[in-house]
Amino acid sequence: MNCNAKNVLIAGVGGQGVLLVSEILSMTCLDIGYDVKKSEVHGMAQRGGSVVSHVRYGSKVYSPLIEKGTADVMLAFEELEALRWVEYLRPDGQIILNTQQLKPMPVAIGQRDYPDDILAKLGRRAKRVILVDGVNIARNSGNMRTLNIALLGALAALLELDDTRLRRIIKKKLASKTLKANLTAFSKGMAAIADVARLQAYQ
């Protein structure tokens, strides 16, 4: 595995738009000039099953898979999915966590409980856990289906990627009727990370 590669793990459930985010991220990194490898694992995606995408980019990348304990950043669309995949994060890695809980089937039918200590467990595994209210950002952007693009904005800000290139790729990939709301959500997601940085600078 190339140590110069940036490893980004994107995790969520079916229907949240995880795969679209990984595709836009990969296309943008290619456009910048990076070598990019991407791999996806999804089971019952249409039924709310777990979906995870590995995105690796750098000067030269040989494998599409992120090994456990080597992800630089995890973008988690849902709290339990963050916990499910946190073992892939490196000790000094960071998590962008959408503050949303979607109950899997065993929890929904009462066979299991939804953990109440997820944030504490994530905090013990990550250098930093950045909470983003993606649902609220999407709502304020005028379309609840912009959640994934809002989180992409947060990820872009953390990775310091060229947001002009990202917006250009977003325009290519998304329907014109939802484009305005998605670009608004993208900007609000980027701003959410900027707000976190400013707050920490004053602490």
Q: Does the pLDDT at position 42 exceed 80?
A: no
* 163-191: average pLDDT: 96
The more confidently predicted of residues 202 and 64 is: 64
The pLDDT score that the predictor gives to residue 198 is 53
Residue 106 exposed, middle or buried by CB count within 10 Å (0-12, 13-18, 19+): exposed
* 24-38: average pLDDT: 97
Question: Three-class SS of residue 106?
Answer: helix
pLDDT in tens, 171-183: 999 989 999 999 9
pLDDT band at 1 (very low <50, low <70, confident <90, very high): very low
Domains of the chain with CATH codes: 6-201 (3.40.920.10)
* 191-201: average pLDDT: 68
pLDDT band at 201 (very low <50, low <70, confident <90, very high): very low
What secondary structure does DSSP assign to 19-44, as a single string? HHHHHHHHHHHHHHT-EEEEEEEESS
* Whole-angstrom distance, CA of residue 27 vs CA of residue 21: 10
Helix axes 176-201, 147-159, angle to 10 degrees: 40
pLDDT band at 45 (very low <50, low <70, confident <90, very high): very low
Strand partners, 175: none
pLDDT in tens, 112-151: 777 789 999 999 999 999 999 999 999 999 999 999 999 9
The per-residue pLDDT of the chain, averaged, comes to: 89
Q: Does the pLDDT at position 96 exceed 70?
A: yes
The pLDDT score that the predictor gives to residue 116 is 85
Q: Does the pLDDT at position 102 exceed 90?
A: no
E strand or H helix that includes residue 96: strand 89-98
pLDDT in tens, 47-90: 568 899 999 999 999 999 999 999 999 999 999 999 999 999 99
167-190 as b/e: b if 16+ CB within 10 A: bebbeeebeeeeeebbbbbbbbbb
